[in-house]
Amino acid sequence: MKKILLALNISFLLISSGCNAMDVETKKLPVSYAIEGTNTAVVGIALDKTGMPKETVREVVLFPGQRVVFAGPDEFVIVFKNKKTPSRKIENPSVNGVVVINVPVGIIEQPAFAEEFRKNNALRFEYAIRANGKELDPPMIIKRN
């Protein structure tokens, strides 16, 4: 039961090129949670007229053991930066327009993350959405609920 209380938030702050996360348009976007009765959140990867990936949600909030499914163009890649990833895989290419990132149940107890979580009460993962040779760099933030 205590592990359930240690629920984490994962926020994918999806920002477009040249905008910051507090931009008015980004604030208007919805927050994505796991679909009721499931452990899966869904995030669409949209493309603007130039082929640049753009945000469709402000953030995604997940708990340990849940997953996020990115769905979009036939070919895109979710790439974690600085060799730091919640899923142990740095490059996550789409398969038929879909990428699934699983959040481990015990992520904050993992030796690689325990100290950072203790100091900051959160984990931050820098990643990029690459599509059509263009990149969007939103962060992923994991916090206690």
What is the biggest distance separating any 2 CA atoms in the chain, rounded to whole angstroms?
48
Examine the pLDDT at 10 and tell me if it is beyond 60.
no
Three-class secondary structure of residue 141 per DSSP? strand
**pLDDT tens readout for residues 83-139:** 999 888 999 999 999 999 998 989 989 999 999 989 988 778 778 889 999 988 766
Output the six-digit token pair for 113: 């993350």
pLDDT per position as a tens digit, 60-77: 778 888 999 999 999 999
**Cβ contact 60:41 at 8 Å:** yes
Got the DSSP string for the chain? -HHHHT-EEEEE----TT--TT-HHHHHSPEEEPPTTSSEEEEE-EE-TTS-EE-SSSEEE--TT-EEEEE-SSS-EEEESTT--SSS-SEEE-BTTEEEEEPPTTGGGSHHHHHHHHHHSEEEEEEEEEETTEEE--EEEEEE-
pLDDT tens digit sequence for 14-72: 323 333 434 557 778 888 888 999 999 998 999 999 999 987 887 777 888 899 999 99
- At residue 11, the pLDDT reads 37
Number of domains in the chain: 1
How far, in Å, CA of 41 to CA of 111, rounded? 26
Other beta carbons within 10 angstroms of residue 38's beta carbon come to: 10
Q: What pLDDT was estimated at residue 32? A: 83
Q: Is the model more confident about 113 or about 11?
A: 113
Domain that holds residue 87: 2-144
> Which position has the token pair 């974690």?
80
